[in-house]
Chain A
Amino acid sequence: MGKILVTRLEKRLMLPLVRFGPRFWIFTAALLAVIAWGAYAYSVQLREGLAVTGMRDRVSWGLYVSTFVFFIGISHAGTLVSAILRVTHAEWRKPITRLAEAITAFALIVGATMVIIDLGRPDRLQHVLLYGRIESPILWDFISISFYLAGSLLYLYLPLIPDLGTLRDKMPRRARIRRWLYSRLAARWGDTPEQRAHLDRAIAVMAVLIIPVAVSVHTVVSWIFGMTLRVGWQSTIFGPYFVVGAIFSGIATIIIVMAAVRWLFHLEKQILPVHFRNLGLMLLALDIALMYFTLSEYLTASYMGASRDASWLSLLASGPYAPMFWGMVFGGFLAPALILGITRARMVRWTVIAAVLANVGMWFERYLIVVPSMAAPQMPTEVATYWPTWVEWSILAAAVAGFTLLLVIFSKLFPVVSIWEVQEHVSALPKTVPATQEAIE
């Protein structure tokens, strides 16, 4: 039996793939339970119709559409952040790009699912392909999101290839199915200079291509609303407003996932405080841009007090949505900015707290864009009421659990930190650390 040499880094990053402790099983079981409950709620909805939701003719979009916008927003985390950092050769990015890319792909999958759940006739989904009208913003979304999902999966896969080669060669023999899987996925990666050159080129091309696609995705999501005549939706700044919010919540999600992975897999040597610091600063920059957009959006609507604007704004400022609205402004936007702005507080823990606040705030923001504009009367009648039912809350919980489960499965199948890129990064440092060779098996 020949011994396979494994570096310390490889061992550290491969351990989570082979070690399944009780914590993993309990967590996975809990996630599956939440998803099963959500599936039950959806089965009730399929049986009884959308009447089991809180939506009615006036507020005909609610929690599902808000959550769709939220998750599509999160998907910008990933690719946009990692692609931009790759294009600008920010070397510190290397340990976190894979996480960002995985978040992108999974957030897109969950977000797209929310739309299907919202459909009155999901059995007719194929009509979008058969009879799709390119004039409809929903088609723009369909095309843009399909492209983005395909691109993101490719962009997630390409930088995985060298690690898949490593896994194929170095996974313990007993993990037979996985070795088979890795060897298929590794696509005969032999780490030759030519292969390296091709891979580098492919990754570089994808990184450049994915940026405009990502920007287009949340722009056309915003245009679903922006193209209507509704008060609060018909806004020229919706495209950039949504994109900035998307990157904001995307970065916040990376920070949260990064902290979880670092703690669970003991990657304190790979994911460093500098990563939290840098992403925290990016979050702060986006937060400031978002506050600027929010100010221009609501100030221009409120200043002259046109009657239709006023009736909608009063719902937000002092009406039923006021706690959420001011919670978003102070808790979701201002508080993270203060936390991240104070240099001393720029520690891992506080950055994570700011990220959690930012994400809750962004979910509020999506909800406040979708619901109050529909609740505000556009005919001579009362303000409509909407409150999500247990079915909608259950499906929301299942969506979050599903997103988490996809990340958990990913983290158990593939190294969450790119081994080859970090190795390259380490060996490029002035002080080379002697790679300790250790033997497993």
Chain B
Amino acid sequence: MPESESTEVAAQSPVGAEGRRRFLKLIAIGGGTALAGYYLAQFPGVVPAPPEGLEGVPQRTRRWTMLIDLRRCDGCGLCTDACRLEHNVADGQEWMKVYTRTDNDGEFFLPRPCMHCENAPCIKVCPVNATFYNEDGLVVIDEQRCIGCRYCMAACPYDARYFNWSEPVEGDEILSPTRERGHEDHQRGVVEKCMFCAHRTDEGRLPACVVGCPMGAIYFGDANEDFLSNGPEKIRLSAVLASQEAFRWKEELGTEPRVYYLPARR
């Protein structure tokens, strides 16, 4: 007699099936709320909406591109210094780093900014959307959001990312009061890197490293306009890519870097 049995049991233990069911229901409600909260957080509204009147207009109007002529680079490192001054880069970091390589004809140099990959591995892995494409498609970092997990550094194939391991220390040359800064405040425990001087390009100025290069080896501009400049000279990107042996670093990885190189030996 299953019926009488169960009533007997219910009498013995006051918390019977009902209490358990209520408990499970509470768990289900709690879990459901957490999940719903998660999906709401994914929703637009948390992410800034496009400016009024611009809905539907393509957000990316620029395709910032850099071209570095390795034949002109003499490895002086002034691009690195210009970058350090511009961004108040912490000691021990080189957002624009010049690598030295040796081949049969001797040494040559490879300056490496952030490649601002169009298929950026760092952006893919970031757990909190602290690194993302800005409206011009540049790979930028929100230092206020970064949790310092450094997954993006593990994912970057170009070693372009740097971590503020300690309180960032400003170099002596940084202290000039007239200097305009790309970064006012660096903070400990977050990742930073080259940002293609987004604050300068917004004003129509060339990045600091481009201006800082005495050899005119670095060209910068908008690929949509097919127009790059190193300051004094102006070039057509499409013409250079078609006529010269331009390459991108680690093309085979499919990261689609925005930085092209012209070989050191031709």
Binding site for B on A (CB under 8 A): 48-51, 53, 55-58, 60-61, 115, 118-122, 124-125, 127-139, 142, 187-188, 190, 192-195, 198, 224-225, 227-230, 374, 378-381
Return A227 CB to nearest CB of chain B, in Å.
7
Do B165 and A51 touch (CB < 8 A)? yes
The residue from A125, A194, A198 contacting B147, defined by CB atoms under 8 A apart: A125
User: Which chain B residues lie closer than 8 Å to A121 at the CB level?
Assistant: 146-148, 189-190
Which size bracket describes the interface of B in this complex?
A: 35 or more
A84 CA to B197 CA in the complex, in Å?
57
| Contact A139 to B189, CB < 8 A, known contacts A187-B15, A379-B99 | no
At the interface, yes or no: B264 with Cβ under 8 Å from chain A?
A: no
Contact B159 A61 (CB under 8 A): no
**Chain A interface secondary structure, helix, strand, loop or mixed?**
loop
Q: Is B9 an interface residue (CB 8 A)?
A: yes
Q: Which residues on the A side are within 8 Å of B37 (C-beta)?
A: 129
Closest residue on chain B to residue A154 by CB atoms: B27
Contact of B163 among A57, A139, A379 (CB under 8 A): A57
A138 CB contact (under 8 Å) in B127, B157, B255: B127
**CA–CA, A56 and B46, complex, Å:** 34
Q: Are the CB atoms of B127 and A142 closer together than 8 Å?
A: yes
Contact, CB under 8 Å: B101 / A127: no
Residue of B nearest to A379 (CB): B159
Chain B, 4-29, CB within 8 A of any chain A CB: 5-6, 9, 12-15, 20
Of A120, A134, A193, A227, which one neighbours B148 at CB under 8 angstroms?
A120
List the one stretch of B118-126, B203-211, B220-228, B229-237 in contact with chain A.
B118-126
Task: Tell whether, in the assembled complex, residue B125 and residue A138 are in contact, meaning their CB atoms are under 8 Å apart.
Answer: yes
B145 within 8 A of A: yes
Least distance between B217 CB and chain A CB atoms (Å): 18
Q: Enumerate 30 A-B pairs (CB-CB under 8 Å) in ascending A order.
A: A49-B188, A50-B189, A53-B165, A58-B159, A119-B148, A119-B149, A120-B149, A120-B163, A120-B164, A120-B190, A120-B191, A121-B147, A121-B189, A128-B147, A129-B41, A131-B41, A131-B145, A132-B38, A132-B128, A187-B15, A188-B13, A192-B9, A194-B6, A228-B121, A229-B253, A230-B157, A378-B159, A379-B99, A379-B159, A381-B159
- Contacting residues, chain B, for A380 (C-beta < 8 A): 99-101, 110
With A131-B145, A137-B125, A380-B99 in contact, is A120–B159 under 8 Å at CB? no
CB contacts (< 8 Å) of A194 on chain B: these are: 5-6, 9, 13
7 closest A-B pairs by CB: A120-B148, A120-B189, A51-B166, A138-B127, A51-B165, A194-B9, A49-B166
Known interface pairs A48-B166, A61-B154, A230-B155; 14 further A-B residue pairs with C-beta atoms within 8 A, sorted by A's residue number: A50-B166, A57-B163, A60-B150, A60-B153, A60-B154, A120-B149, A121-B147, A124-B147, A127-B128, A132-B38, A133-B127, A194-B13, A229-B155, A380-B99
Known contacts A121-B147, A125-B147, A190 near B99 by CB under 8 Å = no
Give A130 to B47 CA distance when docked, in angstroms: 11
* Complex CA–CA separation, A124 to B128 (angstroms): 10
Q: Is there an interface contact between A56 and B165, defined as CB atoms closer than 8 Å?
A: yes
CB of B85, distance to nearest CB on chain A (Å): 20
CB–CB B12/A192 < 8 A: yes
Q: Which residue of B lies closest to A125 (CB)?
A: B147
Residue of A nearest to B34 (CB): A129
Contact, CB under 8 Å: B125 / A228 = yes
Q: Which residues on A sit within 8 Å (CB–CB) of B154?
A: 60-61, 225, 228, 230, 374
B136-173: which have CB < 8 Å to A?
145-151, 153-155, 157-159, 161-167
Contact B190 A224 (CB under 8 A): no
Taking CB atoms, residues of chain A closer than 8 Å to B178 are: none
Q: Quick one: closest B residue to A131, CB to CB?
A: B128
Query: B258: CB under 8 A from chain A?
Result: no
Nearest Cβ on chain A to B212's Cβ, whole angstroms? 22
Is B158 a contact partner of A379 (Cβ separation < 8 A)? yes
CB-nearest residue of chain B to A58: B159
- B162–A57 touching, CB < 8 Å: yes
Q: CB-CB < 8 A to A50: which residues of B? A: 148, 163, 165-166, 189
Q: Which residues of B contact A48 (CB under 8 A)?
A: 166
Task: Enumerate chain B residues within 8 angstroms of A134, measured Cβ to Cβ.
Answer: 42
Contact with A along B79-93 (1 / 0, CB 8 A): 000000000000011
B116 at the binding interface (Cβ < 8 Å): no
Query: Smallest distance from the beta carbon of B101 to chain A beta carbons, Å?
Result: 5
With a CB–CB cut-off of 8 A, which chain A residues contact B145? 124, 127, 131
A378 pairs with B157, CB closer than 8 A = yes
B129 at the interface (CB under 8 A from A): yes
| A130 cross-chain contacts in B, Cβ below 8 A | 41, 128
- Per-residue CB contact flags for chain B residues 170-203 toward chain A (1 = under 8 Å, else 0) read 0000000000000000001111000000000000
Q: Closest A residue to B168 by CB, please name it.
A: A49
Q: B125, A49: Cβ atoms under 8 Å? A: no
Q: Determine if B149 and A118 form an interchain contact, defined as CB atoms under 8 angstroms apart.
A: yes
Q: B124 — which chain A residues lie within 8 A by C-beta?
A: 135-136, 227
| A residues less than 8 Å from B99 (CB atoms) | 379-381
Residue of B whose beta carbon sits closest to that of A224: B151
Return B8 CB to nearest CB of chain A, in Å. 9
A70 to B127 Cα, complex, angstroms: 22
C-alpha gap A92/B87 in the complex (Å): 66
Give the chain A neighbours of B101 by CB distance below 8 A. 380
Return the chain B residue nearest A142 by Cβ: B127
Contact flag A198-B155 (CB < 8 Å), given A56-B165, A192-B13: no
Least Cβ distance of A56 to chain B in Å? Answer: 7
User: With A138-B151, A190-B13 in contact, is A229–B164 under 8 Å at CB?
Assistant: no
